[in-house]
Amino acid sequence: MALDENIVVLIGGVGGAKLALGLAQVVAAERLTFIVNTGDDFWHLGLKICPDLDTLMYTLSGLVDPETGWGRANDSTAALQSLATNYGFEPWFRLGDKDLATHLVRTDLLRRGHTLTDATACLTERLGIRSRLLPMTDAEMPTIIETKDHGALGFQEYFVRHRWQPIVTSIKHKDCRLAQLTTAARHALRNADIVLIAPSNPWLSLAPILAVPGLRAFLAGLPLPIVAVTPIIGGAAVKGPTAKIMSELNIEISAASVANFYRNMISGFVDDCRNEAFTANGLRILRADTLMTDLSAKTRLAREILAWIKGWTR
Ligand code: FO1
């Protein structure tokens, strides 16, 4: 099924990339744009690392490590091992040798004065990706995790170094007041027929995107379907810290809480058929199997969501 709608997806890392891959099977590549979280980005060993952009890039180009869902398949870690053995660096953040090539090229482009939007376009073009991957902003807007026992942690310190174990007390978006939605992202949203919010972690991956000044109001004013997909399945998160963080922030662990987080912005919500059914004023709800265990399940879900939304206008 080739669709003639322009689809824009707001998206984070591994969880969201599954739906992205499904969408890529049913939507023409040029009609698919991803606005990607950059709150996880950081500078490490002099390199600019953009994990969510990388995860999506590697997923869509078929290069991703299927075991982890991030990084490159069949990668080695010779450089990292040498950094540890010869130079005493603590190898807490696993950068594979092939993956390093991406960070080197991106960092070089940024140092030559290109924006992250341009650098990403260069990388995706070289990897043969025809959909657009757009960072939400070209400014640096790192997510800071305030924790009970470890103080304020940079996102990757919290997520990778501490394996998301510290108790989260609040989440901040450093320098968000200085950030702007990129022109390319604004243009994509103005030309969209449907906006989807991927089943990424709402608090870690979508909140940074929505923290870009004016974006929530801009989305709320768009006269088109905006539909979020639940990351909560069977009352829990498939993988990762979504449910843990909800509990630490005193938010009930349910799909209804996720829908409530996107309130005033979404017109539809895709809930998992395993969750307890809920209703919310004026919100259309599709109950579907959102687990996406393999490519056919990803494709089926993408097709089902888009057919459902198209049915609204019929
Ligand atoms: N995640 C890990 O759990 N451990 C790692 O060592 C790690 C390295 C890494 C390197 C490059 C990259 O693009 C992603 C990487 N990730 C790693 C994944 C990533 O940090 C997280 O999954 C996201 O930031 C959360 O969306």
Tell me: the pLDDT tens digits for 87-124? 999 999 999 999 999 999 999 999 999 999 999 999 99
Q: Look at the chain and report how many structural domains it folds into.
A: 1
Residue 188 lies in a domain: yes
Q: What is the pLDDT of residue 313?
A: 72
Tell me if 40 CB under 6 Å of ligand 1: yes
21-50: average pLDDT? 98
Residue 283 lies in a domain: yes
Ligand 1, atom 8, residue with closest C-alpha: 94
Tell me if 199 CB under 6 Å of ligand 1: no
Q: What is the pLDDT of residue 24?
A: 98
33-49: average pLDDT? 98
Residue 48 lies in a domain: yes
- What is the 91 CA–ligand 1 centroid distance (Å)? 13
Residue 86 lies in a domain: no
Q: What is the pLDDT of residue 3?
A: 64
Residue 51 lies in a domain: yes
Tell me if 239 CB under 6 Å of ligand 1: no
Tell me if 240 CB under 6 Å of ligand 1: no
Residue 268 lies in a domain: yes
Tell me: the pLDDT tens digits for 262-274? 998 999 999 999 9
Buried b vs exposed e over 155-193: b needs ≥16 C-beta within 10 Å?
Answer: bbbbbeebeeebebeebebbebeebebbebbbebbeebb
Whether residue 278 has pLDDT greater than 50: yes
Query: What is the domain-level CATH number for residue 225?
Result: 3.40.50.10680
Q: List the single range of 69-83, 168-182, 236-250, 293-307 with lowest mean pLDDT.
A: 236-250
- What is the 118 CA–ligand 1 centroid distance (Å)? 22
Tell me if 138 CB under 6 Å of ligand 1: no
- Structure tokens, 197: 């919010």
Which atom of ligand 1 is nearest the CA belonging to 200?
26
Please tell me the pTM assigned to this model.
Answer: 0.97
Instruction: Report how far residue 281's alpha carbon sits from residue 82's, in angstroms, rounded to the nearest whole number.
Output: 57
246-260: average pLDDT? 96
Residue 122 lies in a domain: no
Q: What is the pLDDT of residue 119?
A: 98
Tell me if 12 CB under 6 Å of ligand 1: yes
Tell me if 41 CB under 6 Å of ligand 1: no
Which atom of ligand 1 is nearest the CA belonging to 37?
26
35-60: average pLDDT? 98
Residue 256 lies in a domain: yes
| Structural domain of 266 | 7-62+133-147+173-313
Whether residue 130 has pLDDT greater than 80: yes
Q: What is the pLDDT of residue 1?
A: 46
